[in-house]
Amino acid sequence: MDNRNQKREKLKTLEERIGYIFRDPSLLEHAMTHSSCANELHKGHLGSNERLEFLGDAVLELVSSDFFYHRYPEMPEGRLTKLRASFVCEPALAYCAEQIPLGDYLLLGKGEEQTGGRFRPSVVSDAMEALIGAIYLDSSLKEARSFIHRFILNDIEGKQYFYDAKTILQEEVQKQEGAELSYELLSEDGPDHRKRFASAVLLNGKELARGTGGSKKQAEQQAAFEALKGLGLVETEKQSEKDNGGSLDVSEKH
Residues classed as catalytic? 57, 129
Residue 32 DSSP class:
T
Question: Is the CA virtual torsion 203, 204, 210, 211 positive or negative?
Answer: positive
Cα dihedral 116/118/120/122 (nearest 10): 140
Q: What are the phi and psi torsion angles at 9 (to 5°)?
A: -65, -35
Ramachandran sector of residue 188 (left: φ over 0; alpha: ψ -120 to 50; beta: rest)? beta
**Neighbouring-strand partners of residue 211:** 199
